């Protein structure tokens, strides 16, 4: 898998930032994903296409973690917290839950995202279909058992 290393968002997230967000979201991020964030925060993949159920999906970018996200920052709109905030009710299926059930990690073409799904004990990787999801009725499709499995699915570059 290839990345546009010039698109990595600095500073890279610290262990302290990740720990504080895990507490806030009430989740434990998979170790492979934390390592990815601390190496490739917000990166744009060059190899950016994966197949699932006879359909091709295009990854626009992986989301980032900024110390202090701001929409006026060029990377602010791709911070996980900024993406999650307005979509939270459409990503979660229970308004009584305090925490995060579905955490976006990569932006796909359109209003869809690759997410970590915390509905079960061990998080899986899903596609969240933004255009089809409604408040407390997310439309999710599992695509991989782990973040590493998801990365292994990405196998080609989009050609125009």
pLDDT at residue 97 is higher than 60:
no
Give yes or no for a contact between 106 and 63, defined as CB atoms under 8 angstroms apart. yes
pLDDT at 72 over 90: no
Q: Is 136 left (phi over 0), alpha (psi -120 to 50) or beta?
A: left
Asked if residues 73 and 65 have their Cβ atoms less than 8 Å apart, the reply is no
Q: What is the pLDDT of residue 77?
A: 85
Give the highest mean pLDDT range of 33-47, 61-75, 93-107: 33-47
Summary mean pLDDT of the chain? 86
Which of 75, 73, 57 lies closest to 9, judged by CA? 75
């Amino acid at each position: 898998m290839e990345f546009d290393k010039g698109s990595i968002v600095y500073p890279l997230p610290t262990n302290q930032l990740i720990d504080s967000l895990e507490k806030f979201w009430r989740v434990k991020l998979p170790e492979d994903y934390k390592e990815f964030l601390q190496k490739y925060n917000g990166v744009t993949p060059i190899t950016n296409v994966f197949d699932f159920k006879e359909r091709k999906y295009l990854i626009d970018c992986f989301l980032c973690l900024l110390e202090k996200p701001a929409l006026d920052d060029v990377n602010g709109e791709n911070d996980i917290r900024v993406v999650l905030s307005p979509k939270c009710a459409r990503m979660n299926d229970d308004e009584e839950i305090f925490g995060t059930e579905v955490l976006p990690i990569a932006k796909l073409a359109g209003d869809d995202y690759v997410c970590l799904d915390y509905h079960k004990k061990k998080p899986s990787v899903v596609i969240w279909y933004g255009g089809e999801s409604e408040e407390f009725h997310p439309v999710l499709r599992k695509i991989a058992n782990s973040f590493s499995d998801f990365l292994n699915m990405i196998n080609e570059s989009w050609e125009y």
